[in-house]
Structures are given as structure tokens and as C-alpha cells.
Structure 1
Amino acid sequence: MAFNDILVSIGGVGCFQILHTILLLVPVALLSCHNLLQNFTGAVPDHHCKLSSTRVLNSQDETPLSNFYFPLDKYKKPQRCARYQIVKGMLLNATIHQWEEKSTESCKDGWIYDRSVFSSTIVTEWNLVCNHHSLRQIARAIYMTGVLLGALVFGSLADKVGRMEILTWSYLQMGVAGSCAAFLPTFDAYCAFRFLCGVASSAISVNSISLILEWMPNHGRTLAGNFFGFSYSLGQLVLSAVAYKIRDWRWLQFAVSAPFCIFFLYSWWLPESARWLILRDEPEKALKHLRKAAFVNGKRREGEKLTVQILCSEMQKDILIIRASHSVFDLVRTPAMRRMSLSLIIVWFSSNFAYYGLGMDLKDFGLGVFQAQALFGGVEMIAKLIVMLVMTIVGRRVMQFASLFMAGIIVVSYSFTPQDKKLLCTLLAVTGKAFLACAITCMYLYTGELYPTEIRQTGMGFSAMNARLGSAVASILHLTGDFTFTILPMLFGITPIIAGFFSCFLLETKDSSLPDTINEVENRSSSSSTDYESHSEDWTHKVHLKEFP
């Protein structure tokens, strides 16, 4: 409670906290643009084989020209990856029946693309269709692998060198790598720089939420944590609007990447976590940042009363404990940490596995890809506003379980719904994805409150690593093709249901102070178990008294 009292004394949730949170959330909004960017830059337009310029049809038949050159699919449209094999002398006075009897061949001269929606995508740029259609999903999987690696590396590194050091570097890496990816000439180079974007994306998300929570007093954490998820959904609306205006994939890639260079510039003025600085035995720097926060909050006098001695005396016990070196193994070294980490692994993996599995190949349900993206983003924002209120009343654990369980039930129902019922499919898909978004929003706040300060970034990074592993697995599963249309949604629905039950093993953190050390987590877990046992004993004792008066 000591550090929370310090934050309350210098203004609580004041102007500093509000401005600090906004400056950290604006980049988070653009992260969702990068995570879902390939829905637009990798869109697959209608296409068919390109014909060589020497092939000219000389026929009096009024049958459409496409019928002579291309076999038709079940929708009476030219097949995308085949054309009739043309024999010399076949072109003159040919009938449609003579063409249908000929064998087919692959598109040897390239493809013609419908550019009425997108002027260019990575698909049209490098012909990622037919035999090369899997490269589009591979590009997405490479990006998600970068996100996975970033969570693994930068999570523990931030606990050693600081949150702001990693965050500032990640802004620069995202801005430069993303902008370069927009103008690279080859597909291999594009994938390499998108990989670097993924690494930076993960570092930005886990460090942003930690900085927000560590500068926020207890009564403001729920609101701030929910706005973190809210900003992500807002980014989806921004992406749909920007993609609607910019139909060229290179300029769209550049438009959502270049602003990170601006974020890099102003990040030099954002303060490091004062809580982390104190526990790292740098109270002078922490005092400097706390006094600045007090000044912005209009509590300059209260800030001047703080001294290095006060900060050290309030957190002396925690400082002595934190000086021991820590690693990722501390997440599973003690019983309470082990139970908590195992549950969070399953919750993070399942939530992101289902969320990105549904969101990677955005189905427009007859609405159009821009309208569909805006619909998903808008419904998510409304759902997260509701979660923000409900979480304050019922707590984190109940909200985490309910959102995961409901999402799983709805997505499983979606997998059994006939696709010709577009209205029902749209309703189930939007609702299921909204519940998953709520689960992820709750998860970020909940995890930040569960892990102690000394290894919070390690825990957040490890959790985010499992989340990105889930999204990477979902991307790889999409390579299996369209025949898995029913199987994949079932997987995306069953895993959140399982994760929901595992979330019941987590401690409730509503209205409790952030733990600073592993010992605090162990003590809270022991206290919770003791309270449960005492309640059970009291109940049993009362039953015995009734039975044996």
C-alpha cells in the first residue's frame, strides 16, 4: 500500500496520469492496424488467367469471351487457376462445346486481377495465388512469429534495463521497419521487415500496459486497463477508414507505420516507472519523476515533501528482496506462482488463438471488407465499455471466466451454422469476436495486477509470448485450406471454454494493491486458502450443531 499512498498524495488520477495514459494508448491503437493489416494489404481480388496477346478469338458465337478461354466454376464464373489448353487452329469458327471438350492448363502467362476494390495488394504484386496462395498465410505467420519472439525477449529484458528504454527503441524499430516494408521490391524482404514489425509490436503492448498500471493508483487501474483494450478496438475503426481511402498496399503500409517515428520522438519525455526505479535502487530518479507528476497534478507542495529517505523507508523491505536476480524460472518456482502462470498460459494462448483465428481472414458476409472491419471494431468498442463497468462491480475473475465461456459457446455455434444464413452468421461472428476482445482486455489488466513488480515485465512478456504463439498457430492452421471451414471454428470455440475454467484458479485482484514481490503473491495465495478453509470449517461446524444439538 505504501507506493499507492504516495501516488494518491500527489494527485491520484490527475492530469499527469490522464496525459501519460493517452500518450501511451495512441501507439497501441495503431498496433491493431499492424496486427490486422493483411486483411487489406493481403486481400485476394477476383482473378483469372491472363492470355497471351497472340490469342484472338474469331468466332461468330455470341457466348461471352470468357467461356471460350476459361472453364467455369459452380458459380458460373471463370476459374481462377486454369484455362483451356489451346491448340493451334482451334480458334477459328470454334463452338463453345468444342472448347469444353479440351483439357485445361495452368496460368502460364500470369493473371488478370479485378482492381475495382484495391488498386494493388501483396497478392497482385507478387502473384500469391493458385500454387502460391499459401505464401500469403506464411507472410502472416512470419509476422506473428516476430510478435512471439518480441514477447519472449523484451519481456524479461524490460525488467532489467527499464520499461521506457525498450519502449522507445520499439517505437523506432516499428516506424523504420514498417516504412521500409512498404517500398521493398521482393516478397522475401517484405516478410523480413514485417517480422521486425512483429517483434516491436509485442514489446510496445506489454511495456505500455505495465507503465500505465504502475503509474496509476488502485482506484484508477480498472478504467486505465480497459481503455488499453478500448484503444485497440478504436484502431480497427481507424484501419478500416484509412484502408478505405488508401487502396494501394504500399501507401497503406506506410501510413500506419510512419506515425511511430513521431511516437519515438515524444517518448523521450515520458517518465520511467517510479515504482520500478525504487525497487531497482534508483530512488533519486524516481523522486524526480514523482515530483514532476505532482507538479502536473497541481500538487507541487506535496511533491516537495517527498524525499529519497521517505521512498526508501516506505519500500525498504521490497528493495532488499528485489536485489536478488530474477529470471523466467521464478514464474514457476513457488506453488502460487506456478499455479498462476500455468493458468495464464492457457488463458492467453486460447484467447488469442481464437481471436486472431476468426479475425485473420475477415469475412465480409456480403457487407464489404471495409464495412465488416468497421462493424467488428465498433461492436468491440461497445462491448468493452460494458466490460469496463461490469468488471468494476463483479471483479476480474468472474469477468474473465464469463467472457471466455460465452465466446466459446457462440463460436462453436457459428461453426454449425449454414453459411447461406448470412444474417445469423454475421451476428454470431461479431458477438463471438466481441466476447473474445473483452476477454483479452480483461486479461491484460488482470495479468498486470497478478504479477509482482519485480518480475511483472517478465510475466507480461511470458504471457504475451503464449498469446502470440496462439495467434501464430491460428495463422498456420489457416494454411490447411477451405475444407476446414467447420473444424477450425470448432477449435476456435472449444479452446476459450477450456481456458475459462482455468481462469477460475486465479486470485481476485479487484480493489487490491499491486504486489511488489513474489513473497506477497505467496502470502496472498496462502491467505486466500486459509480464508476458504476457515469458511468451510465454520460451515461444517454449523451443520454438525444442527444435526447433533
Structure 2
Amino acid sequence: MAFQDLLDRVGNMGRFQILQIAFLLICNATLTPQTVLENFTAAIPGHRCWVHVLDNDTASDIDSGILSQDDLLRISIPLDSNSRPDKCRRFVQPQWHFLHLNGTFSNVTEPDTEPCEDGWVYERSTFLSTTVTEWDLVCGSQVLVSVSKFIFLIGNLIGPFLGGHLSDRWLPESARWLIVTNKPQKGLQELRKAACMNGMKNSEDTLTMEVVRTTMREELETAQIEPALCDLFRTPNLRKRIFLLCLVRFTTAIPAFGFIIHLQHLKSNVFLMQCLTAASAIPASFAAMFLLNRIGRRITQFFFSLLLGIFILATVSAPEEMQILCGVLITLTGANIYAVISSNTLHANELIPTVIRARALGVTGIATNVGAALTPLFMILAVYSASLPWIIYGVFSFLGCFIPLLLPETKNQPLPDSIQDVENEWKGSRQAKEEGAIIKVTSF
């Protein structure tokens, strides 16, 4: 709690901290729309094959009004397994005799069909134009939509490789990081700036180099050697934490990004659902904060990840006709995603030592983006079953809910400043368990 003593001198939550939070919110607000953008720019509208008798402007049957559009559609496009016009095939020849069958096909030979050789006709009531309609990324080419999302998310994967180094030069820099990396003078300057912005008087007298060195003496002694990336995996306890945190981020990213970037596939109004899921982020974040402080970090993550898996499976199982139920389930799924991400992020920051936190978050960020990059590839499986990708997202969410239980609880615990703090915590807990076991044995 050494650095916490210094924070008490500058003000725990004043104007300085509020401005930092506001700045981070602005940064996130500029990034998040890029992730959800393809729900609109790459939306896949309803479509069918272009057919001569229906879509040729010179077709005499349409001009004369002898046959309705439904009749022409019936003789031109076969029905799929859901008794709806097939999106990817058409009859080789118009099946005029279908007009006289009154819906009975049992004694009729299956007519020949072919792919959409002349292109597609798109339903444009919601989207006038998307990348899908521009380049006909449907049917056999629909996989290219997932490939484009995969490439975009691979670009995100590159970020964490640079983020750790860039964050070490970000201004204003973390005073804690400056002090424990043998830059106490700069750390003292940042503390005085924060105290001044928070209206703390006499900060020059109360915050001195002697105070900083005395308060954080132990941390400064253990920070003589600047930790490297390999130090994340050198000691057993920290190595275990990094591995489990990467696993948490990976299993969380798959359902989270799978839902966020494929919202349009849930057969609801994508504009309304995007607004509702975004609005749900605010109460979800407050709910996560409340539970994190009440029942702890591990149980909160377990609870929200479990609910996320349940809501994903319930959403994909709900009948398409029950639009209100689907909307409620989609909104609850989005709320749980924001709660899970908030809980995971907080827990990870509290488990990683200050001196190597930027590099550790870079490593866990890689795990996050690997999981995110895989989500569009799972959506390719929708050609076999529309529900299959969503079932996979739900299963990953169920798997992810158990991993935080293997990590230490950090509620009301001091933040580790050095790698040695993490190892000492492990040794202390092990010693306490051994002593407890001895007491239990000797009490009988």
C-alpha cells in the first residue's frame, strides 16, 4: 500500500483523475465504431437470383399484368428447406406447370436448377448499397465477407506488439511506473501536477523526494533491474497468472467479438439492436462495478460469463417471429459482454505488477486479438447450419467462466508493484495453508 499513501496526498479522485478517465473514454469512443461498422457497411440484405421473366424490364408478362410477381417468382426460383425462395439457385427453365399444381409437388419430377449465372436481385428497403451488393459477396462468395473481417482483426493483432512500448512514452506518464522504474524525480513531478489539479494545497511541502523514497523504499529496492518481456515467464506464479489471463482473454474475445461484429446475422433490426446494446453498456458497467466490490472479482466474472453463454444460446434458439423476445435477449447478451470485459480488464490490471504491466497487457492483448480474429472464421460454418457459429460462441463463454476461479482474488488487496511481490504473495499464501493444515492436525 506504499503508493496508495502517496495518492492520499494528491487526492484519490479529483479533477486530475476525472480528466484522465474522460480522455480514455474519448479514445475508446473513436475506436469502437470501427469494430461494429461492418454490421452496416457489409450487411447482407435479402437476395435471390436474377431471372429473365421477372427482372427483365421488357418482359411482356409483367407489362400486361397477366401474372403477378409471386407467380413469376414461383415458376423461376425453387424453394429452400424453409419453404422460402432459394437465395443461390434458380430453375434452368421457367416451370409454367407450377401455376396449376395448387401447391402439390408430389407427382412432379424435380426440375433442373442452376446457380445465379446472371447475378442477384437485392432487397433494398433497409440498405440501399453495401459492400455485399456492390461485389455480389453472397452464396459461394459469402466466405469473402468473413475473410475481410478476419484481415481487419489481424490488423488489430499487430497493435499490442507496439502498444507496450508506446504506452511507456505516453503523457502524462504513470507516477507509480516512473518511481518503480528508477525515475523518482519525474514521478514526483507527476504527483505534484496531480495534486495541483486536485486543489491540494502545500503539495511542494508534503510531496518531497525524501517522502517518495521513504514511502516506496521497498519497491525502489526491487526495481534496480528493469524487467524484460521474458521476465513475465521466468517466475512460476507470474507465469501462471499470464497464462490464465491469456486464456481468459481468448475465451472471452470469441463470444464478445462474435456477437459484436455479427449482430446483423441475428435477424433483427440491426439499427435498433445496435442502439439497445450500446445503451445497455452503461447499466451493465454499473452492475459489474457493484458486484466486483460486493462479491469479488472471480465470482463476478464467473457469473457474467455464464449468463453470456446462456443468453447467446437462448438468442439463437428463439423463434424469428418473436421479435420482442429476440430483442430482449440480444440486449441482455450485449449487456453481459460489456460486464464481462469490464470485469476481466479490472482483474487483469490488479494481478500484474506495475513494473511490467504494459508488456503483460500487450501479451494478453495478443491473446484477445487472436480470439477476435478467429470469430469471422467460425461464421463460415453457417453454410452448414446458421446456428453452429453461435453455439461455438456460447460454448467458449461457458469455458471462460471457470478460468477466473483459478486466479487469486484481488478485492481489497494491495496492488503488486514488483515481480517479487507476486512471488511473495504466492509463498505467503502457501505458508498460510501449511500452517492452517498443521493447526487442523494438531487440534485433534
Identify the residue that residue 139 of structure 1 maps to in structure 2. 148
Greater Cα radius of gyration, structure 1 or 2: 2
Give SS of 1:461's match. helix
Q: Is the 8 A contact 1:395 1:510 kept in 2?
A: yes
What is the identity, as a one-letter code, of the residue corresponding to 1:29?
A
Aligned equivalent of 1:16: 16
Equivalent residue in structure 2 for 1:67, among 70, 73, 93: 73
- Residues 499 and 537 of structure 1, relative CA distance in 2, 3 Å threshold: farther
Q: Which runs of 5+ in 1 are unaligned?
A: 165-269, 545-549
Is structure 2 residue 405 aligned with structure 1 residue 504?
A: yes
What's 1:288 paired with? Answer: 189
- Which amino acid letter does the alignment assign opposite residue 175 of structure 2? A
Amino acid at match of 1:452: P
Deviates more, 1:367-376 or 1:441-450: 367-376
Partner of 2:31: 31
Is residue 2:87 matched to residue 1:80?
yes
Q: Paired residue for 1:45?
A: 45
Q: Structure 2 counterpart of 1:111, which letter?
A: W
Structure 2 distance, partners of 1:77, 1:397, is 47
Of 182, 185, 202 in structure 2, the residue corresponding to residue 301 of structure 1 is: 202
**Aligned mates of 2:267, 2:235 — CA distance in 1:** 52
Q: Could you say if the C-alpha distance between residues 294 and 303 of structure 1 is closer, same or farther in structure 2, counting changes exceeding 3 Å?
A: farther
* Contact 1:415–1:487 under 8 Å retained in 2: no
Change (3 A) 1:347 1:47: same
Does the 8 Å CA contact 2:78/2:89 hold for their aligned counterparts?
no
Q: CA deviation at 1:129?
A: 1.8
Paired residues of 2:381 and 2:389 also in contact (CA < 8 A): no
Distance 1:120 1:453, change over 3 A: same
Range with greater deviation from structure 2 (113-122 or 31-40): 113-122
Show the counterpart of 2:427. 526
**Separation (CA, whole Å) in 1 of partners of 2:315 and 2:440:** 43
RMSD over aligned Cα atoms: 3.1
Q: CA offset at residue 107 of structure 1?
A: 3.6
Q: Distance in 2 between matches of 1:399 and 1:54?
A: 60
Q: CA deviation at 1:11?
A: 1.6
> 2:105: which partner in 1?
none
Question: What is the deviation of 1:349?
Answer: 0.9
Report the counterpart of residue 393 of structure 2 in structure 1: 492
In the alignment, is the contact (CA less than 8 A) between 2:188 and 2:208 conserved in 1? yes
Alpha-carbon distance in 1 for matches of 2:286, 2:253: 20
**Number of aligned residues:** 429
SS of 1:481's partner is: helix
The 1:347–1:356 alpha-carbon spacing in structure 2 relative to 1, beyond 3 Å, is same
Give the C-alpha shift of residue 300 in structure 1. Answer: 4.1
Report if the CA contact (8 A) 1:72-1:78 is conserved: yes
Are the aligned partners of 2:6 and 2:215 in contact in 1 as well (CA < 8 Å)? no
Gaps of 5+ in 2: 101-108
SS in structure 2 at match of 1:112: strand
Which of the numbers 58, 62, 66 marks the counterpart of 2:60? 58
Cα distance per residue 1:294-329 (max 9 Å; x no partner)? 111011412454234443444344345334343333
Query: Which letter does structure 1 place at the counterpart of 2:5?
Result: D
TM-score by structure 1 length? 0.70
* Correspondence list, 1:398-437, <5 A: 398-412=299-313, 423-437=324-338
Q: State, as a whole percentage, how many aligned pairs show the same letter.
A: 30
How far off is 1:141 after superposition? Answer: 1.0
In structure 1, the residue corresponding to 2:262 is in which secondary structure? coil
Q: Using the TM superposition, give the Cα deviation of residue 17 of structure 1 relative to its aligned residue in structure 2, in angstroms.
A: 0.5
CA distance in 2, matches of 1:307, 1:491: 56
Is residue 454 from structure 1 mapped to residue 317 from structure 2 by the alignment?
Answer: no
| Paired residues of 1:295 and 1:303 also in contact (CA < 8 A) | no
Residue of structure 2 in register with 1:192 after alignment: none
Q: Look up the SS of the partner of 2:254 in the other structure.
A: helix
Amino acid at match of 1:21: I
**Cα shift at 1:378:** 2.7
The answer as to 2:162 corresponding to 1:154 is yes
Which of 247, 260, 283 is the matching residue for 1:359? 260
CA displacement at 1:367 relative to structure 2: 4.5
SS of the equivalent of 1:48 reads strand
Amino acid corresponding to residue 152 of structure 2 in structure 1: Y
User: How far, CA to CA, are the matches of 2:441 and 2:321 in structure 1?
Assistant: 56
| Structure 1 counterpart of 2:244, from 343, 348, 368 | 343
Residue equivalent to 1:130: 139
Q: TM-score, normalised by structure 2?
A: 0.85
